[in-house]
Amino acid sequence: MTGIWGIVNVTPDSFSDGGRYLDVDRAVAHGLRLRADGATVLDVGGESTRPGAERVAPEVEQQRVLPVVEQLAAAGVPVSIDTLSAATAVAAVRAGARIVNDVSGGLADPDMRAAVAESGADYVIGHWRGFSSDMYANAEYRRIAREVAGELQERMGEAAASGIAPSRLIVDPGIGFAKAGTQNWNVLRGLDEIVALGPRVLLGTSRKRFLAETLRRGDGDEVSEERRDLATAVTSALAARAGAWAVRVHDVASTRDALAVAQAWNG
């Protein structure tokens, strides 16, 4: 069955839950709840990557995430560190993280690939075309699924050249990163091209803007978290059917149920 990564944002400004879990104890408690709901991995992040987000100094990022990583790992929970910083990746692996989730695929920090290679951690390569402050300036594609797959393949080659074995790689098509509106749906429709690359595929659609745009019933209509979570669960089930190895979500319980129903449907 497709795995479920639970999101633990230890940030003041993430687009969906910024500030809720900035306190270490609350973040750890939230992570343990997600684990109890069925999360197979907890993805801990200390820097928001929402559109327009400002960068965070690695020292600040580490102050936020390392105590959370350490406590969750000590509780026996598989932990991923969501970071663009090689220094934070190394520190988090020392604190117990098993996976480095780099949405930039090694482009944001030139030291990242070598650091991950030495750490022994698994490595998530995200599709990325620039920092959050201006990523939509690069959202131009002709055949988006094929282009995303091609750029991920380039990042895979760079990771291999840095000493990261293919068995340690996970790829993420980067839904919402330098992709607007229907471009995200086109990537999802072409997910088989990403799966065909070979590594495990992680998909993150959770509560993202393109889902709200699809659900919006009229001008100015607000789309609640609950409705976004339902849409996320549907995309998770469809992604599993397309061959995704894991999905990354805020609400684990609804996605767990959707995946169970999809698995029963498929026999």
Q: Give the catalytic positions in this structure.
A: 208, 248
- In sequence order, the 6+-apart residues with CB closer than 8 A to the CB of 15 are 48, 50, 51, 207
Number of residues that this document lists for the chain: 267
Rounded to whole angstroms, the Cα distance separating 160 from 219 reads 48
Beta strand segments in 181-259, E: 200-203, 246-249
Helix axes 225-242, 182-189, angle to 10 degrees: 30
Rounded to whole angstroms, the Cα distance separating 1 from 99 reads 20
Residue entry with tokens 């990242």: 112
